[in-house]
Structures are given as structure tokens and as C-alpha cells.
Structure 1
């Protein structure tokens, strides 16, 4: 087993998993439902897309590369100006109230 991508954006991980599933690369999302929990010794348990077979790492990375934005992966979450909900950096509108992101 090998970790491929860790992200707080579970939608993004689900999208990446669907790409790998279509390519018949065995994978799963670890900590998918525990992202809000924190362990005092290891920190937050963030969702991570994992490959079952280490040998698939290069192929999986190649398949996902066109779908990854370096700008979005380094950007931080933003708070909606209307409802104050936290949103992933890649979202242009709030997932909860559809208010546009302030630039």
C-alpha cells in the first residue's frame, strides 16, 4: 500500500479515485470519515488516497497529473463572506449558499 494524495477536499479525492478506478488501479480513501477527528499524538486524520499496489504509483501519478493544479493544492481554504462556511480553495462559490468567493 502506498499513499498517493492527502487532502482535506474529499470531493477532489473522490474524483481522483474515480479516475484510478476507471483505469483499474486498486485504490481506496483512508480516513474518509474521520477527517474532523484529531489525535493528540499524530494531529488531524486527513483523508488520503492510497494505492493498493506500490508498483502502480508511477502510472497513477501520470493519470492524475493533468487534473492537479499546483495553484489550488497550495492555496488555503476560504470562508464564505455571507454564511462564514469553510470552502476548499478550488471552489469559486460557497458549497452551502452559492455566494461567490471574494478575491
Structure 2
């Protein structure tokens, strides 16, 4: 029921990106991702709903055929099976929420 961030080990994703899997159940999962400036979350899609909160920095998101820059305090939604990717414009942190949880992250 309680997940302490300081006790979670970050794993490497793409170059310049690390991820911590925080609290989750079968229905929902929260992750924290740290990005160095210029790092990318490569183009992909998945069968999960995803909402991302920009906790720090700024990012250029492409979702489907739409690209926008978002910054601290903004959020974005990636529908199921829609291609998306991100480039970090200013060093930052994202908080991703997935439904259902991402078994491939465990």
C-alpha cells in the first residue's frame, strides 16, 4: 500500500532515460521517468491507456499525427494502440499512469 521512492531502484530505458515503477495493481500502474535534455522516448504504441503528468522540465510529445510542447504542470493522454513518442526539451521528470498495469515493466 505504501511505496517509498527512495527504496525503488531506477532502471535504464533509452539513453538518458531512467524509470522507477512505483505503486501498482493489476488495473493501474504509476511510474516516474527522468530525462536528460535531448533524451527520447522512442516511437511506440501499446494496448494500455496512458496519462502522463509533466512534473519537471519541458517535452515535445507526438501522439498520432499531432506534436506539441508541454511543460511542468501539464498532462497528456495517449489512447490505447496510438503511436507516440517524446523528446526532452529541458531536463525533466514525467509521471506515467497506465491502465491496466504494464507487466512488461516488471
- Asked if these proteins are the same fold (TM beyond 0.5), I'd say no
* Structure (1 or 2) with the greater strand fraction: 2
Structure with higher Rg: it is 1
Tell which has more relative contact order, 1 or 2 (C-alpha 8 A, sep 6+): 2
Relative to the length of structure 2, the TM-score reads 0.31
* Structure (1 or 2) with the greater helix fraction: 1
